[in-house]
Structure 1
Amino acid sequence: MSPEDVFAQMLAEGDIVLDKLDACARTVPDKVFLHYGEDDVRLSFAEFKRRTDRLAAGLAAIGVTQGAPVSVLTRNSLVAAVAMVAIWRAGGIFAPINFNFRGMLLSYQLNDTRPFALITDPSFAEVLEEVVAEVPLERLIVHTPAAGDHDATDAAFGPAFARLAVHDLAALAATDAGPPAIVRGPFEPANIVYTSGTTGPSKGVLQPFRWINHYTFPFRQMTSADDVIYCDLPMYHVGGAFFLLARALWQGNTVGLWDKFSPSRFWDRIAECGATTCVLLDVMVPWLMSAEPRPDDRANTLNKVHMQPLPPNHHEVAQRFGLDFVTSGFGQTESGAGFAGVIDQFGMAEGTPAALWRGLSKVDFLARCRANGRLVVHGGGAVPKGFMGTPNPLFEAAVLDEDDNRLPPGHVGQLAFRPRFPGLLLLEYFGKPEATLKVLRTCWFHTGDAVQELDDGSGVYCFVDRMGGFFRVRGENVSSYEVEALVASHPKVRAAAAIPIPARVGSEEDIALFVELAEGEALGEDELRDHTRRVMPKYMQPAHVRFIPALPVTPTNKIEKYKLKRQIVEELGL
């Protein structure tokens, strides 16, 4: 198919996720949309639409208008999913917050977004109390779990929140009024999702509705309405909110939804909801593989699994658990799904037992891949390290040097995209025009990732490394700038340098921290780690801490991180 044909097909399937929900509620009203395993709740498409419409009406009643950001801070994925769709329906912009944030990270995002309201629950009362005086927050919308719910808590919002208007989420959703009649267009802003900054604080990526359609489209071509999608990724993550949950609305898929990954309960959950497809991020794979092998390891319903990044032992994993197809690629908060590739792990041999198979047959799956120009390689062969597959046909992809000149195959440079059609990329970095212009200079979107196109004529691209000051830890993008700033907020620290090194578990990275103390100060590692636990999420905390008399710097006072990385790698024997 030509790029024009692919784009036409994408538009024909519908740009606006809300329209797809409406269609499902009409055509398959009683089919289960969300199977929320945490509290054994099952919502049909019709019931989910009813709940989100009512909450949208409640949001409109308190003043949510078109284009107003509404932030969501909760671990409860069902609450987050209902809130997301209701915010869209009310005309607002969904602005999720990483529920691991506190202190400076949390106050920065609230100050940057300046939301009309924050939807949250009492478990966040303590962390919000730390920052409420520093942020321009005017309204809380509070979900209060019932006594028997898995997230029931005795916590409550105290006097520190007296200046805020506090609304009960259930009361807002109890209205009989219909939702506002707001038509959402493909270029209207749908989401503000924050991504790590390399030389400054995180930036809010403003995504239009068409971005959601574009991000999910390549992987919708590999599934049918019979597939069941498993999701344990958080709703502040584009993978959880859009790649898994919103994607289901285009085909009317059931989604098995949990709040977080559990290696001990993963396979029980897959059986409970009958999932055929899921996402496994980095450390999830070795955690599952660390379990004692069982003769019935293949007796499960998964037949299509997306692995990001692609682990070197993907074929071994697939053979053990009967995963017929493994997909890999390249995805970003800004650019969506830029690459994809399919690894056929079994050929026509049986992986998933025939009695448990759901979704497209193997023959139809492979035919669909061929029709859409999707590269399929064999898992038993030599799949190159960092395999991302081939470019999304809706993008022009290039590998650029430092001056934005194209590099030929076989050379490593920065991956960049040019969309062939409108509305496929971010609209902007929210409130940051200079950063937006910088990333879109010379009419290329600069991803900040180093890749190379193989020189064998296959058109395959491979991921090489992250450029600049961010890296990947436990499925999260981590900014060295933010780690260093939080560490340096300790009064005894003069400066710090965060260095990515190969992770002890998985294919991503651990953080090594080098600390230079203020003159005359003494600080032990235990005290420093107490500080990091207070100010940053667990995934940001360094695996290794080293105190040094002075950080090595260039004549222009830039830290020579390559020297520090060489030192710690040699010391640890990595």
Structure 2
Amino acid sequence: MNWTVMPAFDDYEQAREAFAWDLPESFNPAVDFLRKHEDTSRTALRYEGPDGLETYSFDDLDDRSDRLAAALAELGVEPGDRVGVVVPQKPQNPITHLANWKVGAVSVPLTRLFGRDAIQYRLADSEATAVVVDPSVRETVDAVRSECPALEHVIELGNSESVAGAGDEQDGATTHAFADLVSRHEPGFDVHDATPETPSAIMYTSGSTGPPKGVLHSHALWLGRAAAAFNYFDQGLAEGEATLWTPADWAWGAALGGTLFAAWHHGCTVVGWPREGFDPDDVYELMERHGVTKAFMPPTALRMLMGVDDPEAEYDLALETFASAGEPLTSEVVEWVAETFAEVAINDFYGQTELNLVVGNSDTWFETRPGSMGRPLPGYDVRVLDPETLEDVETGEVGELAVRPGDRRVFFDEYWGLPEKTAAKQTDERWFRTGDLVERDADGYLWFVSRADDVILTSGYRVGPMEVEEAILQHPAAEQAGVVGVPDETRGEAIKAFVQPAGDDYEPDTLREEIRDLVRDRLAEYEYPQYVEFVDELPTTTTGKIRRKTLRERDDTH
């Protein structure tokens, strides 16, 4: 396969039969994304920030990432070292990833939505030696430096005039100004000699029974995401012809790999727009200004866009495809797109942090069935297994989705430091277990039923209840807590906390808001409980564990 131009197929069965992974022997994503295109002077990134519009060509990004790579190497960052990236949709986000790979370092994408505990755990667990941070999270990172013993360098966006303490050391880590590091070096960096197996990124995923797990991927990840994006964007990523945008944070896999880097692999333009909140009219105006043709929109964002009447009449849109993921699309969203836009397709897709993007609907190949996950993308086989026996279940019966790639390398390498959990993720025949319960109908469409564990799917994010419970218990008035997901029309699921107070002397409304604020501050904005119910006692197992299933069954929120 030519990894510069993906093959297009008109027929789904032909695609399934003819597609084959053919990864190159030598591969560095920084070279692939920036240097292989026919015209590297074309615009790769249109960044709309507080100071107006900035445009970056592939050459510009190559130049800046070369300079940053030289700076990282001078600071002592070596191949295999981990470097955190806590930057929103700004040019410095991808520039840092590209520089990491040029050095041979492993990126740790993190969202600025994370609070103190979330950032501290991930930086410490990955043993990051350096972290590049947005000014909005500098204070949070400063607060956890002493708890991240491997951390040697904190690099804040800005120059020496705007970055407080530039050049100073605190708790063993020296502060640097991003712009000064870049300006002090020249382009022409000798890029690390890498392959598809070279470690590339550690992405963290929440679990139901323990702390977040670091998912280590090799460079092959980005080729897998690029292939998937080509399909769920209806094979419309011809070099120089598509403009992509997503409201999702570039820390998340589908946004970083399935939108931003997938676009650059194919030679297309990406729009960057760091924002606070989501205003539907502002979003339509942005897509109009930049001629966005392909948009990755989580279902929650699509439902919010539905609040604008007749957007095609109101705005001059170039839209061709919505792609969506995080939860199944309901029929109302699919019907809204069909009724509202004359020639806009909507394709949703399914994947995991560990397993790439493996199932989807494709307007090019077959009819979208609202509510379904779609059918397996080319390059992947799927089975629906009995979770206990690991035998195939009958068509129409519920079982655990298992996936096997045509090339093992496009899936994750390991859970960072967790060999037993890594081994448990796959069967002896190398079928990867998703932990998602599904049904498969007679036509091969898959239908999501539920998680096999307690992970909550809210607004496209996966939230581990245990992490939220632990944050709640930091409040002195909380004796015990149980967190579950409850149905929500906008988010898919909302987070609900059942809290057993430590005593009777509390004011419910005040404590409820204090708990919400505490979780926002320590974890992330999207992880706070929308509902908090106070109870005299929580149901537990004989070993003292919270029975979340019982809490879900007794919930009367809706």
TM-score band, normalised by shorter chain: 0.7 to 0.9
Say yes or no: does 1:208 pair with 2:218: yes
Corresponding residue to 1:544 among 518, 531, 535: 531
Q: Which amino acid aligns with 2:193?
A: V
User: 1:459 corresponds to which residue?
Assistant: 444
Residue aligned with 2:76, SS: coil
Query: Which residues of 2 match residues 80-99 of structure 1 at below 5 A?
Result: 80-99=93-112
User: How far is 1:504 from its partner?
Assistant: 4.1
Corresponding residue to 1:328 among 343, 348, 352: 348
Residues 76, 306 of structure 1: alpha-carbon distance in 2 compared, 3 angstrom cutoff: closer
User: How far is 1:479 from its partner?
Assistant: 0.6
Residues 184, 15 of structure 1: alpha-carbon distance in 2 compared, 3 angstrom cutoff: closer
Say yes or no: does 1:239 pair with 2:254: yes
CA contact (8 A) 1:20 1:250 kept: yes
**Normalising to structure 1: TM-score of the pair?**
0.86
Query: Which residues of 2 match residues 474-485 of structure 1 at below 5 A?
Result: 474-485=459-470
Say yes or no: does 1:274 pair with 2:291: yes
Residues 169, 158 of structure 1: alpha-carbon distance in 2 compared, 3 angstrom cutoff: closer
Residues 330, 294 of structure 1: alpha-carbon distance in 2 compared, 3 angstrom cutoff: closer
Residues 528, 241 of structure 1: alpha-carbon distance in 2 compared, 3 angstrom cutoff: same
User: 2:331 corresponds to which residue?
Assistant: 312
Residue aligned with 2:552, SS: helix
Say yes or no: does 1:440 pair with 2:426: yes
User: 1:165 corresponds to which residue?
Assistant: 174
User: How far is 1:249 from its partner?
Assistant: 2.0
User: 1:230 corresponds to which residue?
Assistant: 245
Query: Which residues of 2 match residues 376-391 of structure 1 at below 5 A?
Result: 376-377=366-367, 383-385=369-371, 387-391=372-376
Query: Which residues of 2 match residues 11-410 of structure 1 at below 5 A?
Result: 11=23, 16-24=28-36, 27-38=38-49, 39-136=52-149, 137-144=151-158, 161=170, 163-174=172-183, 175-176=185-186, 178-221=188-231, 222-223=235-236, 224-225=238-239, 226-260=241-275, 261-293=278-310, 296-297=313-314, 299-308=316-325, 309=327, 310-313=329-332, 314-343=334-363, 366=364, 375-377=365-367, 383-385=369-371, 387-403=372-388, 404-410=390-396
User: 1:430 corresponds to which residue?
Assistant: 416
Q: Distance in 2 between matches of 1:37 and 1:436?
A: 40
User: How far is 1:158 from its partner?
Assistant: 11
Q: Which amino acid aligns with 2:243?
A: V
User: 1:348 corresponds to which residue?
Assistant: none
Q: Distance in 2 between matches of 1:185 and 1:159?
A: 37
Q: Which amino acid aligns with 2:33?
A: L
User: How far is 1:250 from its partner?
Assistant: 2.2
Residues 195, 119 of structure 1: alpha-carbon distance in 2 compared, 3 angstrom cutoff: same
Q: Which amino acid aligns with 2:377?
A: N
User: 2:554 corresponds to which residue?
Assistant: 567
Q: Distance in 2 between matches of 1:269 and 1:433?
A: 45
Residue aligned with 1:59, SS: helix
Unpaired segments of 5 or more residues in structure 2?
1-13
Q: Which amino acid aligns with 2:177?
A: D
User: 1:356 corresponds to which residue?
Assistant: none
CA contact (8 A) 1:125 1:157 kept: no
CA contact (8 A) 1:487 1:493 kept: yes
CA contact (8 A) 2:312 2:340 kept: no
User: How far is 1:83 from its partner?
Assistant: 0.7
CA contact (8 A) 1:196 1:479 kept: yes
Residue aligned with 1:423, SS: helix
Q: Which amino acid aligns with 1:210?
A: A
Q: Which amino acid aligns with 1:141?
A: I
Q: Which amino acid aligns with 1:495?
A: Q
Q: Distance in 2 between matches of 1:311 and 1:215?
A: 24
> CA offsets, 1:311-361, max 9 Å, x none?
321122342133521111211111111112124xxxxxxxxxxxxxxxxxx
User: How far is 1:566 from its partner?
Assistant: 2.8
**Normalising to structure 2: TM-score of the pair?**
0.88
Matched residue count: 526
CA contact (8 A) 1:229 1:254 kept: yes
Q: Which amino acid aligns with 1:20?
A: D
User: How far is 1:564 from its partner?
Assistant: 2.1
Q: Which amino acid aligns with 1:426?
A: F
User: How far is 1:124 from its partner?
Assistant: 1.8
> CA offsets, 1:419-464, max 9 Å, x none?
232302100011111211121243321111111111x2x1111112
Q: Distance in 2 between matches of 1:6 and 1:481?
A: 41
Corresponding residue to 1:532 among 516, 524, 531: 516
Moved more, 89-98 or 522-531: 522-531
CA contact (8 A) 1:56 1:180 kept: no
Q: Which amino acid aligns with 2:300?
A: V
Say yes or no: does 1:509 pair with 2:493: yes
Residue aligned with 1:296, SS: helix
Instruction: Among all aligned residue pairs of Structure 1 and Structure 2, give the percentage whose two residues are the same amino acid.
Output: 26
> CA offsets, 1:237-262, max 9 Å, x none?
11221111111122210111212454
Q: Distance in 1 between matches of 2:421 and 2:203?
A: 15
User: How far is 1:557 from its partner?
Assistant: 3.3
Say yes or no: does 1:418 pair with 2:427: no
> CA offsets, 1:85-137, max 9 Å, x none?
11111111111112112222221111101111011133223212332222212
> CA offsets, 1:489-510, max 9 Å, x none?
222322111111111424x110
Residues 154, 76 of structure 1: alpha-carbon distance in 2 compared, 3 angstrom cutoff: farther
User: How far is 1:42 from its partner?
Assistant: 0.3
> CA offsets, 1:201-220, max 9 Å, x none?
11111111111101220332
Moved more, 525-534 or 88-97: 525-534
CA contact (8 A) 1:141 1:168 kept: yes
Residues 536, 526 of structure 1: alpha-carbon distance in 2 compared, 3 angstrom cutoff: farther
> CA offsets, 1:122-160, max 9 Å, x none?
32232123322222122111211799xxxxx89778988
Residues 509, 75 of structure 1: alpha-carbon distance in 2 compared, 3 angstrom cutoff: same
